[in-house]
Amino acid sequence: MKICNWNVRTLYQSGNVAQVAREMTRRDTDIISETHWTGRGKIQIAEGETIIYSGRDDNIHRECVAILMSKKASSALIDWTPVNERIILARFFSKQIKLTLVHIYTPTEDAEDQVKDEFYARLQEVLERRNRHDMLI
């Protein structure tokens, strides 16, 4: 599996999902992460790729995380957990070992200390609960 963390700015605008999916195929990439979708869910797009996402509930398009997966990666997906608007967890079958991918949208350095402390405490909880036998990315 070829994993890429690509800040595509947003897939919220019309046509961006298809454009990124084409680029993902062109670059032979299986997983791409992105931000700016609200709510939580899983969508299969027309090209066959799948998006899992975890965002805010207040319809503000920031601090949201998502993972765009190729057909191959989608078929290897075991399960996924939308933790909050900054953390999403996905677990995959792979050839030798299962893989846990934790995608995060970290608060910036100028964020309030309380926001940063809450984020890192929640991330630590997620990492402690993960399957210890999985490869962690």
58-88 per-position pLDDT tens digit? 877 677 888 888 888 899 999 999 999 899 9
Assessment of whether the complete model's pTM goes beyond 0.95: no
20-59 per-position pLDDT tens digit? 777 777 877 777 666 677 789 998 887 788 889 898 888 7
Domain hosting 27: range is: 3-136
Neighbours of 123 (CB within 10 A): 17
CA–CA separation, 137 and 134 (whole Å): 9
Angle at 105 between CA 22 and CA 60, to 5 degrees: 85
Number of domains in the chain: 1
The secondary structure of the chain in percent helix, strand, coil, rounded to multiples of 5, reads 25, 30, 45
Q: Looking at residue 46, which CATH number applies to its domain?
A: 3.60.10.10
